[in-house]
Amino acid sequence: MKDVFLKACKGIRSEYTPVWFMRQAGRYMPEYQKIRQKYDFLTMCRTPEIAAEVTLQPVKILEVDAAILFSDILIPLEAMGIEIEFLEDKGPKVSPTIRKSADLVFLREIDLEKVNYVFSAIKLLVKELSVPLIGFAASPFTLATYIIEGGSTKEFVNTKRFMFSESDSFHKLMSLFTEATFKYLAQQIKAGVHAVQIFDTWAGILSPFDYEIFVKPYVKELIKGIKNVPIIYFCSNTSGLANHLKDINADVLSIDWRIDIKDATLLFNNQPLQGNLDPLTLLGTEEELFKRAKKILVDGNLAKAHIFNLGHGVNINTSVDRLKKLVDFVHEFKIMEA
């Protein structure tokens, strides 16, 4: 198995910078679209053979250095008695919602048997892959935002109302999700994933003060419990919380494009980093793309180790050919030649 990705997770440099992309399996790929025309999104997630096929597509086509399991961050909610559905062009819908203390009765202890299809897909993949497989889960806070808001939102009014009006109950909700997420990730590891990534997608909506109170203790508890595989922590809107991530204790910090990676190497001294190209750079010219990729590669070399990635998921309008050229550029780039 190619191990440059896992080496980087452990702070070990290789002959080239490993690269993979968040949301690398998805709608921008014609091969994905062919399958999507036959099945709805949740059916794809719930069918191990389909999830495995979609996971493998970008590995074969792009030749990235790691695969990430095709699934969704909301899947664990199904195992906790919550219904999820994905509405075309409207995103996820979650029900029932939990917006006050009394609503916590809707949430059950996680039943991993209900999402056994996730672990079955992992077992299929580890037999076929020539690169490491990354498992993942949403952070407890990101799961909480969806179950409180009932879906996607830009303002997070209900989340913050709950946090600030019934903080004890909000902490109880976070504890429940921390335990559930730990069990979910532990089962992924048992099934065979080689690393895990925690997506704290919405933590950036909070002030640093509230991040310290409502998010960080639970992330640290979760990370402390995970054993035997590298842990990547991705927190969107990194710049505002950067000073508060120093002691999060993940093996790798994945940063978005809102912080200069050179600044991040100084801030997170002796910490492997992942990132941090703006995904929409891929929609511009190749000249601009490679100029920015070069800067990230050169500056990322100042970190203990660097995994090239985007600062968020691949945009649907991205060209597969352009993405493949970027992979080749990263693999062929020699820091000494810069």
Instruction: Examine the residue annotation and report whether 46 is marked as an active-site residue of this protein.
Output: no
Of the candidates 13, 36, 258, 292, the residue annotated as catalytic is 36
What string of H, E and C letters represents the secondary structure of the chain?
CCCHHHHHHCCCCCCCCCECCCCCCCCCCHHHHHHHCCCCHHHHHHCHHHHHHHHHHHHHHHCCCCEECCCCCCHHHHCCCCEEEEECCCEEEEECCCCCHHHHHHCCCCCHHHHHHHHHHHHHHHHHCCCCEEEEEECHHHHHHHHHHCECCCCCHHHHHHHHHCHHHHHHHHHHHHHHHHHHHHHHHHHCCCEEEEEECCHHHCCHHHHHHHCHHHHHHHHHHCCCCCEEEEECCHHHHHHHCCCCCCCEEECCCCCCHHHHHHHCCCCCEEEEECHHHHHCCHHHHHHHHHHHHHHHCCCCCEEEEECCCCCCCCCHHHHHHHHHHHHHCCHHHC
Of the candidates 3, 13, 16, 27, the residue annotated as catalytic is 27
Of the candidates 28, 46, 65, 72, the residue annotated as catalytic is 72
Q: What are phi and psi of 60, to 5 degrees?
A: -70, -40
Of the candidates 23, 28, 65, 233, the residue annotated as catalytic is 23
Q: Are 23 and 314 in contact (CB under 8 A)?
A: yes
Q: What are phi and psi of 200, to 5 degrees?
A: -100, 65
Instruction: Examine the residue annotation and report whether 36 is marked as an active-site residue of this protein.
Output: yes
Of the candidates 32, 146, 184, 218, the residue annotated as catalytic is 146
33: Cβ contacts below 8 Å, ≥ 6 apart: 27
Instruction: Examine the residue annotation and report whether 251 is marked as an active-site residue of this protein.
Output: no
Residue 78 tokens read as: 């199904």
Catalytic residues: 23, 27, 36, 72, 146
